[in-house]
Structure 1
């Protein structure tokens, strides 16, 4: 697929924060998805004790959740670890992986945050803006506060940063820990929640994330 990167990768925290501030105005936290045929999961795996990484993208059929396409790219994180700027450690390799796909997916599901971010511009937002493809952030840990949702699949509570709703704590399976869903780009929160539940028929994490994680870990093992 074609990814149009319209900026240089920043070299400092100040440059990265300025870029997030500039690009966040392009995020559109609205839109009901129609005609979704393929969904891509994006994940990054790190080698133990190293900045070496593997970016993996798994594209699945939206109905059957069977594999359609994939790309795996090794790399090295060159940007330092700074809270709120973690995306810049992973973006170059993920963009490289997306560009190697033969398929342009209809939805990106990112292992990370969307607008649930200090500057409302997490990894899912950045990738959505770069690609023009609707995107959702599904994180394993929250950025913000929430009340535990009910125990049943589909139960959710608001994820809050101050008084602002930035996402949802969503129970994808009965009795399991919630995941944290936030809008990335070109999709509203209700639709994002519906998509995550549809993509997680059996396990806590969406199948898109699970398969991308498997691809990345297998590549590291090799």
Structure 2
């Protein structure tokens, strides 16, 4: 597979210029919040994308979609959104109840060129998105307190800009790296993640998406409850 990284890098730079990093005046409190998770099977040859749709404010799973399709892009650090977005878009197209806000497992603006998967997907779908990553990809921050819900700004010191937050979502757990994806401010991205935490490391939207993608007990329990209802 021939990949022109120069062209893709330029595309990332151009897309990043279109990202909106402010709260839009017409944004209302969402009734539905979504979460995404992407994994790979068969040695990376199959992409597995899950979208969970939760009601708000009670954060109960209402709808979901799981898509598996051939992987069309290799693993290249810094360009993972090109590997992940095709399956996510396919899952989005199949979702019956479209969320008004989407939590994405991955980076938003906390990316060397400001276009992680949350920003890339938000731009493609034209909806507010938030990046909720388990590991740091880019940026610097001050030491984070051990106290749960502590946070510190994540900075691009070279550009003198804030590109997200580092959040201690749960005691004795590694922090999350929260960044605006598209059509939302950095502070609102952090506040929405805080609002959707229910005692676990991950906020509920991405926690459910992860459970769906990997068929974890949380999802199995939900399926059992649906069968009984």
TM-score of the pair, normalised by structure 1: 0.88
Q: Residue 55 of structure 2 is aligned with which of 45, 54, 61?
A: 61
Please say which of residues 40-49 and 56-65 is displaced more in the overlay.
40-49
- Deviation (angstroms), 1:11: 5.1
Worse-matched range after superposition: 109-118 or 168-177:
168-177
Unaligned 5+ segments in structure 2 are 217-229
Could you list the per-position Cα deviations for residues 99-127 of structure 1 after superposition, in whole angstroms to 9, with x for gaps in the alignment? 00111211010000011111111111111
2:177 matches 1:180: yes
Partner of 2:154: 159
Shift of 1:200: 1.4
For the Cα contact (< 8 Å) 2:37–2:104, is it kept in 1? yes
* Alignment match, 1:75: 69
| 1:85 maps to 2:82 | no
1:208 aligns with 2:200: no
Alpha-carbon distance in structure 2 between the residues aligned to 1:175 and 1:57? 28
Matched, 1:36 2:30: yes
Instruction: Tell me the alpha carbon deviations over residues 69-111 of structure 1, each in whole angstroms, 9 at most, x when there is no partner.
Output: 1111101222122221111111100000000011121101000
Further displaced range: 137-146 or 154-163 = 154-163
1:16, distance to aligned residue in structure 2 (A): 1.9
For residues 156-179 of structure 1, give each alpha carbon's deviation from its aligned partner in whole angstroms, at most 9, with x where no partner exists: 111122343211101112343210
SS where residue 141 of structure 1 aligns? coil
Partner of 2:43, secondary structure, is: coil
How far apart in 1 are the matches of 2:4 and 2:209?
29
Q: Are the aligned partners of 2:163 and 2:186 in contact in 1 as well (CA < 8 Å)? A: no
Q: Is 1:168 matched with 2:165?
A: yes
Structure 1 partner of 2:186: 189
Which residue matches 1:26? 18
Contact 2:44 2:71 in 1 (8 A): no
Deviations 1:105-152 (A, max 9, x none): 110100000111111111111111111211000100012222232222
2-structure distance, mates of 1:124, 1:31: 16
Task: For 1:155 and 1:55, locate their aligned partners in 2 and report how far apart those are by CA, in whole Å.
Answer: 30
Structure number with greater CO (CA < 8 Å, separation at least 6) is 1
User: In structure 2, how many angstroms separate the alpha carbons of the residues matched to 1:154 and 1:112?
Assistant: 19
